[in-house]
Structures are given as C-alpha cells and as structure tokens.
C-alpha cells in the first residue's frame, strides 16, 4: 500500500526478456486483499476476479476490524471467498500476514481492494515465477483507473538511500504498449504483487512495524537479502483506483508517509548513507512539506509530519519486525 514520493527517471529503458512458456499445470494461487470500511469497493474487485481466466484460485479477504461497516455483504455476494475478520486493525502488513497464514497456494497474490484486473492478468505473472525460481516477487503494469489509460507503475528504481526517494518508470504516460516487456525492477508496487510462499517462508512475513506505506518496499529488500530478484511483467495489467481506503489528503497518510520514509532509511541503510539520508529528510524534505502545509493553513498535516518524526525519538527497535498481539480470527 505504499505510495513513495516518485519522480520520473528520464531516459530509463530496459531490454524486455522473452516471455517464458506457460507451465504445463497451473499451481494454486491464493489471492489476499484487505477490506476496511470499503465492502462495495472490495466487491468490485471480487467481481473482476470472478471473470479471470486463471483456473486455480482461492480468494481470501481480511476485514481489518472495519469500525462502521459490516463486511458480511462480501461473504453474501461471494460465498466462495474466505472472509477473515480481524479483532483489531492490523494495518496493511498485519492484515496481509493474517491472510498469508491461511493461504494454501504455491503463490500469494496481494491486491489492494481498490483495484480491478484484466481477465488474463495472472497467467503472465505465474508463468514468469514458474520459469525463474530466483525471482521472489513480481508486479504487473498498473494503470490509473479510468478511460485515459495512464500508467501508474511500469517498474521502479531503487529507493535512493541518501534521499529516501525512488523513480517510477512510465509514470503518467499514456499506455500504448511501450512497457510490455518483463524485466528486473528494484521495487514492486504494493497494490499488486505475486510472491511465492516458499520465498515468504525464507525471507519472513511483511514487516508490520510500518502499519501503512513503505512496508512492501522494505519487504522487497528482505527478499533481496534472502537471495531473490524482483521483476516487472508488462503483459499483465491491473487498474488502480488509488487511495480509496485512506484518502489522498488524509492526516493519517501524512503521518505514516513521513514516519515510514525515515523508518525505511533507518532499516535499509547503514553508516554514512543512513546519516545522510536521515539528515536530508530532516533538514530538507520534512521542512519543505511543513512549509507547504503551513502556507495552506493545514495545521493538522503539519503536526502529523512532526508527530511522525517524534516517533523515532521514543526508542523503538526498528531493526526487528514488530508483530501485533495475537488476535482472534473467525471465518465468515
């Protein structure tokens, strides 16, 4: 669910790899999505999944303790879906980890509930993983939902350890087939990613310390350290409605984006790079954003930025994955 600050990387190009042949027998894929007060949006995703051509799916919906909306309508409309009800909001990582523990597939497909899919989107993703055991995570092409066919994600550079920023491939380009290849990429997009369960067992679960934003980027680094590669697959397309569950202008988003940008730097860099990255964030990025909110009179967002920074002064052990207390889960 991460939404990194992105910039276009001019002149970036990749040599597309030949598409691997389809496997002789399709393995079971466990689709995992998180619902939080968005049953209607989640059902729109499930309706699009019901039309896919991939023959072996199980679908798991984790309701993250929706406070005001009963998710029972999800199970009523889609009785074949496994609906897990968490007793508390575990965040994006914690909710997905809850789904992982129930997954029976060879692969786990993580989809934001504010996405919809093409009917044939899954075969190219599975085919690449079947052909390349060294790949531990793949993401499809993401288009902003709507008739314009604007690209949100077609691969990404690594997060710059000095600045905490990354560069998106194809961002806001009109999709005309220019990013149809399959090629290595430094970072996935959390709205849609397919991961082998074997890689999860080896690298660990999604880091729950983040709660919202940056968690899949950190997880990708964990998978890389375990010896896996990350790939982009351009022949697979997913449409993203973007930030339905949180909201682009929410104070919650401001808090976690700033807290977790610094958290990512602290967890994934060391020595001079860590200090330079942290100082850039504290002396350049955070003051710049603070000034913008101040000039717009957005005092709640201004406070959220500095509350996020203050979190780091409280002695949290950021080098470990932090798991929330055990919760009761009931299938419904």
Q: Can you give the pLDDT at residue 273? A: 79
Please report which helix (H) or strand (E) contains residue 151, including its range.
strand 151-153
Average pLDDT over residues 78-104: 95
The pLDDT tens digits of the residues spanning 199-215 come to 999 999 999 999 988 99
Average pLDDT over residues 50-64: 97
Per the CB < 8 A criterion, the answer to whether 230 and 219 are in contact is: no
Q: Can you give the pLDDT at residue 244? A: 45
State how far the Cα of 286 lies from the Cα of 258, in Å rounded to an integer.
Answer: 8
Q: Can you give the pLDDT at residue 162? A: 66
Q: Can you give the pLDDT at residue 328? A: 46
Least confident of 30-39, 180-189, 276-285, 314-323: 314-323
Non-local CB neighbours of 269 within 8 Å, separated by 6+ positions:
161, 277
Pick the residue with more confidence: 263 or 244? 263
Q: Can you give the pLDDT at residue 327? A: 43
Q: Can you give the pLDDT at residue 270? A: 82
Evaluated on CA atoms 312, 95, 33, 252, the torsion sign reads negative
The model's pTM? 0.86
Q: Can you give the pLDDT at residue 318? A: 80
Q: Can you give the pLDDT at residue 326? A: 43
Average pLDDT over residues 110-135: 96
Q: Can you give the pLDDT at residue 11? A: 38
10, pLDDT greater than 80: no
State how far the Cα of 125 lies from the Cα of 109, in Å rounded to an integer.
Answer: 10
Reported confidence tier of residue 89, pLDDT bands at 50, 70, 90: very high
Q: Can you give the pLDDT at residue 97? A: 95
Q: Can you give the pLDDT at residue 248? A: 56
Pick the residue with more confidence: 203 or 2? 203
Strands (E), 210-327: 229-240
Q: Can you give the pLDDT at residue 126? A: 97
Return the closest-CA partner of residue 326 out of 63, 35, 97: 97
CATH architecture group of domain 6-240: Alpha-Beta Complex (3.90)
Pick the residue with more confidence: 281 or 323? 281
The pLDDT tens digits of the residues spanning 219-251 come to 999 999 999 999 999 999 999 997 544 455 789
* Residues composing the chain: 332
Per the CB < 8 A criterion, the answer to whether 11 and 43 are in contact is: no
The pLDDT tens digits of the residues spanning 271-297 come to 887 888 888 889 998 899 999 999 999
Which span out of 10-19, 59-68, 271-280 was modeled with the highest average pLDDT? 59-68
Q: Can you give the pLDDT at residue 164? A: 65
Kindly state the percentage of the chain with pLDDT values over 70. 86
Q: Can you give the pLDDT at residue 317? A: 75
The overall average pLDDT reported for the chain is 86
193, pLDDT greater than 80: yes
Please report which helix (H) or strand (E) contains residue 131, including its range.
helix 122-131
State how far the Cα of 77 lies from the Cα of 37, in Å rounded to an integer.
Answer: 16
325, pLDDT greater than 70: no
Average pLDDT over residues 19-31: 76
Reported confidence tier of residue 310, pLDDT bands at 50, 70, 90: very high
């Amino acid at each position: 669910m991460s939404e990194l600050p992105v910039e276009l990387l001019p002149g970036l190009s990749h040599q597309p790899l030949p598409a691997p042949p389809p496997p002789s027998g399709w393995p079971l894929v466990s689709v995992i999505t998180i619902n939080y007060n968005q049953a209607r949006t989640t059902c729109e995703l499930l309706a699009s999944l019901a039309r896919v051509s991939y023959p072996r799916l199980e679908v798991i919906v984790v309701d993250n303790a929706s406070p005001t909306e009963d998710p029972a309508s999800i199970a009523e409309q889609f009785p074949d879906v496994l609906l897990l009800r968490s007793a508390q909001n575990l965040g994006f990582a914690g909710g997905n980890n809850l789904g992982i523990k129930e997954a029976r597939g060879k692969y786990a497909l993580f989809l934001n509930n504010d996405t919809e899919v093409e009917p044939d989107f899954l075969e190219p993703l599975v085919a690449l993983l079947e052909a390349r055991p060294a790949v531990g995570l793949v993401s499809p092409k993401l288009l902003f939902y709507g008739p314009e066919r604007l690209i949100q994600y077609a691969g990404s550079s690594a997060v710059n350890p000095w600045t905490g920023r990354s560069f998106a491939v194809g961002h806001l380009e009109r999709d005309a087939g220019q990013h149809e290849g399959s090629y290595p990429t430094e970072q996935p997009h959390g709205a849609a990613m397919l991961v082998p369960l074997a890689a999860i067992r080896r690298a660990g679960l999604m880091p729950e310390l983040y709660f919202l934003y940056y968690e899949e980027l950190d997880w990708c680094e964990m998978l890389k350290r375990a010896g896996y590669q990350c790939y982009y697959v351009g022949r697979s397309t997913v449409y993203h409605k973007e930030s339905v569950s949180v909201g682009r202008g929410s104070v919650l988003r401001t808090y976690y984006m700033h807290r977790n940008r610094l958290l990512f730097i602290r967890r994934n860099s060391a020595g001079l790079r860590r200090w330079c990255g942290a100082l850039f964030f504290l002396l350049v990025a955070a003051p710049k954003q603070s000034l913008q909110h101040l000039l717009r009179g957005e005092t709640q967002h201004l406070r959220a930025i500095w509350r996020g920074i203050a979190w780091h002064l409280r002695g949290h052990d950021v080098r470990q994955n932090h798991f929330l207390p055990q919760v009761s889960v009931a299938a419904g």
